Structure 1
């Protein structure tokens, strides 16, 4: 069957509003854990996760950090305009972007856009002991709204401005305003690299205590970075999955992570679907550079249908070794690239052997990814979760899936 003709209606289930966790538990690692291993279902609390993990695999976490991506401006007419940061444009590099000191440009979503045809929007922002005038100018409406931000104090970075003026973008389905505590609870305890507009929520259950227990148990941990875009909440509106365009997400992986993958014979435990997409994309990047060693980093972008149009012919070890050799030849300590990979039933997983993940929305691409991982057995897992009082979505409970 051509995977493009998968009907999204086949991946629907009834999710009562009362099962959506609107707030996190007071203690992260006390969330429930559904364990699916070889088709057998059981449950425990998340703090007991290390008991169930395979010991011969590399555990991979996404260390991205959510930025305060919502900015509000008010026009002289009183109209409130929300500017939601999606993707840096000038400079395009995330690290450089947050260190800019007078101007920068982003691709944005604009709320109440019809009220902002032209002109600049400005507001005063208090950053430490300094008052800063921050202005937004719409530069283009083509391919999304491009907005240039300018401010009048070179002692203040854009990162500092966002911390002072921005609002953390919690998921829209929570149907509530961001609260002060979300600034902590909607970040993983190991988040480091700023850039996401949504949290890699599978990681929200981890505490320092659980991480220390993993270390004591001899589990090797590694970190990758995939900046989660707002497209993660984009619903599938087409009847068949072919009509859905995956959003591009930016990936960075240290050279040492590839060594860890190879040490574990390319067997990985992915913490979250973002880590899945990163790891599986690395396989196809390795296939690319094995076929053409002259490719630049930006040419390693993985398109959403690439795994189906050009199935990899290399073993996982060959592909990761080829990518490691590519980085060595170019003296790269960190690989920077991007992916649109779409994982749906029919996909053959290359590196991920176990998955820690939350419970996802009906008719979502994340549910398709889970179904592909458990060989179509997703409905039995979700029926169990619904009938055993599990909490769903970003602030909900967790699962460990081992096919």
Structure 2
């Protein structure tokens, strides 16, 4: 009787697997979507990723991905490698862990990359930046050096930032949130709530506004940022752009300039989660206005500027990955750089979208969020004959 029962279980499982196989195969086919200016298709490059946070394209066409738990992996032919060894330990706490990966402009010859992460010490947790060299076989990271560590750690687990944008001169811009202690964003002696700027060796660039350390910390570029999780430099004009989480409303796109203050928590378009007002209003002398804001929030995870041959209709548009509403926002700009329209793509189709990256071939990479996440590729849909 027991043998018969086990046989029936196995047969039922096999039948279910056979029935499921066609639908699984169909699920791997590219999905097509109309948009205002182009027909696109979305295909899965890899799945089963564990809370991925950032993706970059390697010179050979493979992808390198961070996972929040501390793993750095290479995806090739749809398969993720074993974790790369030698990666500095990241503190997995709340929203913190291994965060961004950015390739040095000379990566094809020097194999250098940069990482942002949550770090731990006896005072709690904070954001750090490290540099390392990826071995030719992609299996290990060597010559690892910590370039930056924020000056005040806390036991709180939110608002670490932090992506990295590399300027034409090789210097690094990155953001750190207020670490859940909002007033720190207005303290010029605190790295929290700021956009920071360092050289690739960790030294201070000559154009930093507080380089002499008299009016603020030497690494500080701008202040008044709540939680900037996206940062990019527009290669056509060198403009720095960030996208950051507001509270209840008030997600912002900013264009941080040296020595300027972007308001949090003195001014904001959002409210406290309790519904109470924050600060003194939406504008005040001495504080910059955002280039664009969302209310209600979309929970932006990353930002990129579209420059590529695949979608000439999108040239110069901003692309913003969103966790809430599970979408990609495409923002058109006029000749002055002002945002004049927004199109929301893929809403609810693929889950929370953590990262967006324009690939060298002009396709767009999306990294979803969660413990069974996917790397997606958005490309032009085939022309119908």
Considering the TM-score relative to the shorter chain, is it more than 0.5? no
Task: Determine which structure has the larger strand proportion and give its number.
Answer: 2
The structure with higher relative contact order (CA 8 Å, sep 6+) is: 1
Q: Which has the higher helix share?
A: 1
